[in-house]
């Protein structure tokens, strides 16, 4: 009931504010730096959701035979298969947040005593649900999975750089604060969503399923914050000095004279 009220107030209140035109009156009162930081955070979260969903889709497609085997072993008829597909689509937002926790590094649990992360995977008996085919194989993971934790840093750097390019500020501190504040806000927002991703999905050991929320918070604000600072400062440097530095270097190159 509480979550329903909060969701209705957030979504409904935002819709009423924009639909009635009140948002156009209120937004100019908010400082430009705050609006830009929120813009950075919103773009980071939107692109991060796309990346997390894409990673989930790739993992599922690579092990699609396992999902097909699960469906065949359940001896389900057409109606049951359709219901299974609808359930899979219904939990896609949760699965996307699970994928997000994996890419960030902390990972998640799919039952008491289990863990799925970029460094190690420990699994136990799992329900016969096709989407679980996207889980990585048990045991030590390949060396390259650790490098996946650079993804949020690069994403935040890209977004903060784009915002700095579209809304340039030439002061170093303003650019850094905007990128850092946007990244930290995105990290806090992602952790708040991650809280809703887990929960009990059955009795016994399946009562503990979900991402490691606190670790996700720490990794998200660190990765997005550092990436936001680096991206904003890099583009700020280019806007202040980079273009002139390139022109100076090009003018210093002496081309050979043409001989008739």
Q: Is 152 within 8 Å of 220 (Cβ atoms)?
A: yes
DSSP state of 168: -
Full-prediction pTM beyond 0.75?
A: yes
**pLDDT at position 246:** 46
Q: Note whether residue 23 is domain-resident.
A: no
Q: Note whether residue 136 is domain-resident.
A: yes
Q: Note whether residue 138 is domain-resident.
A: yes
Tens-binned pLDDT, residue by residue, of the chain (260 aa): 887 888 888 888 888 888 888 777 777 777 778 888 999 999 999 999 999 999 999 999 998 888 888 888 877 778 888 888 898 899 999 999 999 999 999 999 998 888 999 988 998 888 888 888 899 988 888 888 889 999 999 999 999 999 999 888 778 889 999 999 999 999 999 999 999 898 888 787 888 899 999 999 999 999 999 999 999 999 999 887 765 544 555 455 554 555 55
Q: Note whether residue 237 is domain-resident.
A: yes
210 three-state secondary structure:
strand
Identify the residue whose tokens are 């692109």.
47
Neighbour order of strands in the sheet with 108-110: 139-140, 120-122, 115-116, 108-110, 209-211
**pLDDT at position 149:** 93
Q: Note whether residue 145 is domain-resident.
A: yes
Backbone angles phi, psi at 121, to 5 degrees: -130, 125
Longest dimension (CA), the chain: 89
Q: Note whether residue 22 is domain-resident.
A: no
Task: For residues 85 and 241, give the distance between their C-alpha atoms in angstroms, rounded to a whole number.
Answer: 54
Q: Note whether residue 179 is domain-resident.
A: yes
Query: Domain count of the chain?
Result: 1
Q: For residue 112, what are the domain limits? A: 32-242
Radius of gyration of the chain (CA): 23
Integer CA distances (angstroms), 195 to 2, 24, 44, 87, 220, in order = 15, 32, 18, 20, 13
Number of alpha carbons in the 13 Å side-chain half-sphere of residue 232: 30
Mode of pairing for the β-strands spanning 139-140 and 120-122: antiparallel
**pLDDT at position 205:** 80
């Amino acid at each position: 009931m509480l979550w329903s009220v909060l969701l209705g107030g957030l979504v409904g209140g935002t819709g009423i504010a924009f639909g009635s035109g009140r948002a156009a009156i209120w937004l100019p009162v908010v400082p430009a730096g705050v609006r830009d930081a929120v813009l950075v955070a919103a773009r980071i979260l939107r692109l991060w959701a796309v990346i997390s969903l894409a990673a989930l889709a790739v993992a599922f497609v690579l092990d699609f035979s396992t999902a097909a085997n699960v469906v065949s072993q359940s001896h389900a008829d057409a109606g049951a298969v359709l219901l299974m597909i609808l359930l899979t689509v219904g939990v896609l937002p949760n699965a996307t947040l699970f994928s997000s926790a994996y890419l960030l590094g902390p990972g998640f649990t799919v039952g008491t005593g289990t863990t799925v992360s970029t460094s190690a995977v420990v699994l136990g008996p799992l329900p016969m649900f096709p989407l679980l085919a996207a889980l990585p194989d048990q045991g030590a993971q390949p060396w390259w999975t650790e490098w996946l934790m650079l993804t949020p840093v690069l994403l935040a750097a890209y977004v903060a750089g784009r915002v700095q390019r579209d809304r340039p500020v030439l002061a170093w501190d303003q650019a850094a604060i905007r990128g850092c504040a946007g990244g930290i806000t995105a990290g806090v927002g992602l952790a708040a969503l991650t809280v809703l991703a887990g929960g009990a999905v059955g009795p016994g050991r399946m009562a503990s399923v979900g991402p490691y929320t606190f670790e996700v918070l720490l990794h998200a604000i660190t990765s997005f914050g550092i990436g936001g600072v680096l991206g904003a400062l890099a583009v700020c440097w280019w806007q202040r000095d980079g273009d002139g530095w390139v022109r100076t270097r090009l003018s210093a190159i002496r081309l050979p004279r043409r001989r008739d």
